[in-house]
Amino acid sequence: MARYVLGRIAGIVGVLFAVSIMIFLMIHTIPGGPFDAMPTTAEYRDIPEHIRQRLLAKYGLDQPLYVQYIRYMGAALQGDFGISFRYGEPITQFVGRTWQITMQLGLSAMAIGVPLGIGLGIVASLRPNTWLDYLTNLFVITTFVTPTFVIAVMSIIIFAVKLRWLPSGGWGEPNQWIMPTFVYAIGLVGGLARYTRSSMVDALQAEYVRTARAKGLRDRVVVLRHAFRAASLPLLTLLGPLVVNLLLGSFFIETIFRIPGIGSQTTLAVYNRDYPMIMALILLWTFAVSMAYLVTDLLYGVVDPRIRIGGTAN
């Protein structure tokens, strides 16, 4: 097991290295630079050339790309991801501050979406081909074909503009949490309900479930202890990256609702050509998703002891 984990970690390091090269080259080939223009109160005004050259020299952007990359990665390996061009503060400090907001949003959505989605999927699997099952499938299909940003805009129009029940955006007051949290949770509920129902339908038809029922065990014990335990294996594959995405923010949700979290800041970093910020956020996302898959694979053996690390089973 230790050899397997070390091998996976080595693979993650390789992925991070490859991603860092690709992202570094991509952001430097995009037309325009971080100091080509600066915002004023009325319009975008060109920066004088002598000031722009000083800024480029200050941040080392006048050096060849390979020199810039080596310097950046050398500092990043020591935990220094540079200073944001837009905000003028260390990236680590900025990410630590904004990530708290994103985690609040993600955890709130998970607290609603995970139990509701799994519960809805279990109930639908216990009542197949009934009105409850059809209603669940309709909800799942609707959430899958409707983009998140459409649901977010419709919610703002209905609850903020028309009914004036909730503010249209922002973060900090309790009433500002309601709309983005529920919009974020809707997609989570639909996805979990779909996979839970599908996995539970297969698990409920297994021989060991029929044997458990034949022994006279209560339905609750059969469903939760036997069927759901087997059905949770496919759910782990979905939940691992899904939880990471929730905790790293949604570009659409945070941007539309003007939430100053990691997701919206990533969008602003790309728009403003904030190179250190773009690199740090994408590397953070890549590392988190890679670790989520590793943890998910390790949890397979916890849920089902027959699974052995490395792909073999007894």
Q: Say what the pLDDT of residue 156 is.
A: 92
Average per-residue pLDDT for the chain: 81
Q: Domain-by-domain residue ranges, the chain?
A: 93-263
Task: Enumerate residue ranges in the chain where pLDDT < 50.
Answer: 40-44, 312-314
Question: In terms of Cα–Cα distance, which of 294, 109, 130 is closest to 197?
Answer: 130
For domain 93-263, give its CATH number from 3.40.50.300, 1.10.3720.10, 3.30.420.40, 3.40.1440.60: 1.10.3720.10
30 torsion bin: left (phi>0), alpha (psi -120 to 50), beta (else): beta
- What gap in Å lies between CA 134 and CA 146, rounded to an integer? 18
In angstroms, the CA 250 to CA 256 distance is 10
pLDDT tens for each residue of 166-198:
888 888 788 888 899 998 888 788 888 888 888
Beta bridge partners of 44: 39
Residue 310: predicted pLDDT: 54
pLDDT for the residue 44: 45
Spell out a b/e string for 161-178, using b for 16 or more CB atoms within 10 Å of the CB, else e.
eeeeebbbbebeeeebbb
Closest CA to 277 of 102, 38, 89, 31: 89
